[in-house]
Amino acid sequence: MVLRGSMAKIATLKDGFGAASAGETHLRPIWLIDDGLRRTYLHGKGMVAVDPVDVGEMERNLEFWQPKPLGGKIVGGLGTIQGVSPFNDYGRRILTVRGPDGGQVRVIQGIEEVNSRYAKVVALKGKPSLNWDMRVSTKTLDSATLTRIFKKRTDQSDLNSRLELVRFFIAAERYREAKEMLQATIEDFPQEADLLPQIAALTKRQAEQLLVEAEDRADAGQYGLARGILEGFPLQEVSRITKIQVEDALKKLNEPVQKSTELMQKLRAQVGELPANQQARLAAILDEMESGLSADTLARLSDYERLGDVANLPVDNRIALAIAGWILGPGSGEQNLSMAISLIQVRDLVAEYLATPDPARRQAILGELANIEGSEAEYVDRILPLLTPVLPWPEDAQHPEIPGMFEVSTDSFRYVIQLPPEYNPLRQYPCVVALHESRAPIETQLDWWSGTYRQQLQGRMGYGSRSGFIVIAPVWSRSAQLAYEYTPQEHQRVLTAMRDAMRRSSIDSDRVFIVGHGEGGTAAWDIALAHPDLWAGMISISGTPGKTIPHYEPNSRHIPLYMVMGELDGAKAGGAILNDYMTFNHDAMVVMYRGRGREYFYDELPRLFEWMSVSTHQRREMPREIEVATIREGDQFFWWLELGELKPSVPVDPILWNQAERIRAGKVTAAINADNQIRVQRGPADRFRVLLRPMPGALDLNQQIIIREGTRSKRVQFDGSLEFMLEDVRQRADRKRAFWMSEVIP
């Protein structure tokens, strides 16, 4: 990510946010980046890749006179916003907030300054008389509203004023509006014919914007939409270079389709050379490959693409490379055709095991697998991530009008989910688990992250849909619950819903982000730190951390964190808690909006998806050394270590938190050392379970493993059984990190 704004270095967040302690950089180099709309805080040395570059201020503010009060009370805190009217032609609106006594307070606001990044909205004369400067993102102001305000508040007979508005829309990257305004200006000032070439320049920028949109859609797996944009491109209005760029983009889109067709034609021809009985055994898998081969799955046939035409390689070896690649993924290198055929059966039995609720059938499947060539743990571990979702959606789950939206409800959980456009179960999608504000409908989270459903477009067009994210909105609270209570039951509602969705949709378990608004933001913060092994990152919007969260600072070092709040939010997180995250071993950003209170901050959506798309923001590899904290029943599973019952002195009941005599988190410490040795300190539990899977360079399950606890040690070895692995995946729904075995100590 690139952050733009003026930069100051501050020493601490403990004494409040701001640049008051600028210059005390010897204590802690916290960087404050102020772009006028918000202030972003981060650890400069730990998170900044290069030295800052001074690019200067290129844009100018458009200023409007507004009837501001001469004095007035300084707003130190802001209640809940209960309503807001649209801006009128003079750039004014009425904001209704909850007052200190619980009643409604109506404040008249007006736009005093606006540029391409933000608008400065101030309180105007009236009752109450307030000294209040609020900033809102220009992206949240629609072009029609801005155009109305500009026409009313600027001199339309002045050429420079008209061109200033054109420059504004160009800086805001609203090229269609800039073109329309420039064309109207040329019509009103015909003597300015030298402006005509600028129309072509704006058309070029529009074309570049359209190309970027097509590229983004293709990256999100929405190849049909990308192809539609490119095939409908207004080529007659653009330059020759742009035409070539469009042709290249179309060629890039069509190459996987053409290559898939060619590979399947070649493979079918080679299978035709086999004996009739082998051809019959391969008929179904060839049909499956032909229907499923696309840009998302073409990499599975990379071995076959490279060696499929090698004449000195027997034809059955080449066919085996294709079949095994489809089942195991790229780089399998399997050239034994009988083994490749058996892998098809292994895969189908594994999928059935994960789907069936019948314990007797699961035991029978284990017996069948034991007699099949290719049912080794190494193969099954590679098969699991490439499976399509193992469970179908319930019959009545599909929303009657909205494509890709489902609702699932059981006695223990309920959630709604939105799949992105052109959803393909053979592609793995990033996912947002979005937690609602207290007493708010869970459907509002789908609207916020994926966009509201638009009937004329037959879909949602928000950032989540455009970026190819699956959005899950589970119910975490009881129906009348006002505040998050930090209980294991709340965690369970979220985690069971997420795991059910992972069984029914193609979610990449390495790219699952937990997010939330208000009390849901508090819940996301707590659940992320309590279960750091599950998440690619956490986003808390207007969350208020308390109880367990300050005690779980060691856990926060394993998760990228993004906190958004308003500087006038009376319930905002204290600087002391966030100050703990401003260190070298944290990936944490704190964003504070100027003049804002407790809100949803739609302004931040583009940056949130940019942050989630950073390549390093994926679930991290399992650590060889574990050093985390626990203080609650249920927070006992950390990567490859699961604690037994916590000692009586460790857990604190969240409901009775304020009555607890002693609150001190238990320290969990364990490490995988050289020579296949694991050492665990007993810590907050007398018993624990070690879960094992191969870890390159750290743990080899083909060799004996020594587990040490205190002065005791135990030697274990993997017996080749698949039962524990399949049961682990069936219960946790994580097909990328299946554990092969476990050992309870003592």
Task: Report the amino acid identity of residue 451.
Answer: G
590 and 643 inside one domain? no
Pick the last residue of a domain from 211, 235, 265: 211
- pLDDT of 19 > 60? The answer is no
28 has a pLDDT exceeding 80: no
CB distance 694 to 740 below 8 Å: yes
pLDDT of residue 574: 66
* Cis peptide, bond prior to residue 128, ω within 30 of zero: yes
What are the tens digits of pLDDT across the range 76-117?
888 888 899 999 999 999 999 988 888 899 999 999 999 999
- Determine what percent of the chain is predicted with pLDDT higher than 70: 97
| Residue 657 domain-assigned (yes or no) | yes
Query: Does residue 235 sit within a domain?
Result: no
Answer yes or no: is 8 within a domain: no
Q: Is residue 589 part of a domain?
A: yes
Q: Beta 6-10 vs 38-43: how paired, if at all?
A: unpaired
In 403-458, which residue ranges form alpha helices assigned H by DSSP?
A: 443-450
Q: For the chain, how many residues are written?
A: 746
The pLDDT mean for the chain works out to 93
How confident is the model at residue 673, as a pLDDT? 92
Q: How confident is the model at residue 573 (pLDDT cuts 50, 70, 90)?
A: low
Contact between 319 and 271 under an 8 Å Cβ cutoff? The reply is yes
Residue 84 located in a structural domain: yes
Lowest model confidence (mean pLDDT) among 155-164, 175-184, 188-197, 623-632 = 188-197
Question: Closest Cα partner for 563 from 535, 550, 544?
Answer: 544
Instruction: Say which residue the tokens 């996301």 belong to.
Output: 524
Q: Is residue 571 over pLDDT 80?
A: no
* Alpha carbon distance 293, 285 (integer Å): 12
Per DSSP, what are the bridge partners of residue 38?
593
- Decide if 735 contacts 729 (C-beta within 8 A): yes
- Whether the pLDDT of residue 22 is over 70: the answer is no
- Buried b / exposed e over 520-533, threshold 16 CB at 10 Å, is bbbbbbbbbbbbbb
| Stretch 211-216: mean pLDDT | 94
Please name which of 261, 290, 267 lies closest in space to residue 337, comparing C-alpha atoms.
Answer: 267
CB 736 within 8 A of CB 385: yes
648 CB contacts (<8 Å, ≥6 apart)? none
Give the SS3 label for residue 558: coil
- pLDDT beyond 60 at 56: yes
The tens digit of pLDDT for each residue in 703-722 reads 999 999 988 899 999 999 99
113 three-class SS: strand
Burial class (CB in 10 A: 0-12, 13-18, 19+), 486: buried
Element (H, E) at 250: helix 240-271
What are the pLDDT digits (tens) for 308-319? 999 899 999 999
Does residue 559 contact residue 529 with C-beta atoms inside 8 Å?
yes
Q: How wide is the angle at C-alpha 412 spanned by C-alphas 409 and 416, nearest 5°?
A: 35
Q: Give alpha helix (H) positions in 505-621.
A: 519-530, 553-556, 575-579, 605-612
Q: Where are the beta strands (DSSP E) in 544-687?
A: 561-566, 588-593, 625-630, 637-638, 641-643, 666-673, 677-680
Q: Look at the chain and report how many structural domains it folds into.
A: 4
Residue 25 — pLDDT band, cuts 50, 70, 90? very low
Gap between the Cα atoms of 455 and 466, Å rounded: 17
User: What CA–CA distance (Å, rounded) separates 203 from 181?
Assistant: 13
Q: In Å, how far are 109, 565, 597, 598 from 97, measured between CA atoms?
A: 12, 17, 10, 11
Residues 525 and 669 in one domain: no
For residue 345, the model assigns a pLDDT of 97
On the CB side of 713, CA atoms within 13 Å amount to 9
* Residue 661: C-alpha distances to residues 546, 577, 633 (Å): 17, 22, 17
Q: How many CB atoms lie within 10 A of CB 683?
A: 18
Q: Are 169 and 181 in contact (CB under 8 A)?
A: yes
The three-point CA angle 152-153-154 to 5° equals: 105
Same-domain pairing of 351 and 284: yes
Confidence (pLDDT) at 192:
83
For 494-528, what is each residue's pLDDT tens digit? Answer: 999 999 999 999 999 999 999 999 999 999 999 99
> Token pair for residue 156?
């339309």
Residue-wise pLDDT tens digits, 596-647:
998 999 999 999 999 999 999 999 999 999 999 999 999 999 999 999 999 9
**Residue at which a domain ends, from 149, 176, 211:** 211
Which amino acid, 632?
R
Overall average pLDDT of the 670-679 stretch: 94
Confidence of residue 15 (pLDDT cuts 50, 70, 90): low
Cβ atoms within 10 Å of 44's Cβ, excluding its own: 20
Residues 164 and 134 in one domain: yes
In a 3-state reduction of DSSP, which class is residue 68? coil
Q: How large is the average pLDDT for residues 23-29?
A: 55
Residue 80 sits in the same domain as residue 189: yes
- pLDDT, average across residues 385-406: 96
pLDDT for res 728: 98
Q: Do 189 and 74 belong together in one domain?
A: yes
The token pair that represents 21 in the structure block: 């302690």
- Note whether residue 231 is domain-resident: no
Tell me which amino acid residue 359 is.
P
- From CA 200, how far away is CA 239, in angstroms rounded? 9
Domain membership of residue 702 (yes or no) is: yes
pLDDT-based confidence at 16, cuts 50/70/90?
low
Cα separation, 196 vs 630, in Å, equals 67
Pair (351, 414) in one structural domain: no
Q: Which tokens hold the place of 374?
A: 């290719």
Is residue 582 domain-shared with residue 452, that is, in the same domain? Answer: yes
Predicted confidence band of residue 21 (pLDDT cuts 50, 70, 90): very low
- The answer to whether residues 636 and 709 belong to one domain is yes
The predicted-structure confidence for 261-281, as pLDDT tens digits, reads as follows: 999 999 999 999 999 999 999
Query: Are 174 and 142 part of one and the same domain?
Result: yes
Whether the predicted pLDDT of 14 surpasses 80:
no
Q: How far is CA 715 from the centre of its chain?
A: 41
Q: Which of 154, 186, 211 corresponds to the end of one domain?
A: 211
Contact 161, 148 (CB under 8 A): no
% of the chain exceeding 90 in pLDDT:
81
Instruction: Tell me the Cα Rg of the chain.
Output: 29
Gap between the Cα atoms of 403 and 513, Å rounded: 23
Return all residues near 227 (Cβ < 8 A) that are at least 6 apart: 250, 253, 254
**Alpha carbons 366 and 361: distance in angstroms, whole number:** 9
Domain ranges, residue 173: 70-211
Beta carbons of 502 and 508 less than 8 angstroms apart: no
| Within-domain flag for 381 | no
Same domain for 584 and 495: yes
**Do 533 and 629 fall into the same domain?**
no
| CATH code, domain with 601 | 3.40.50.1820
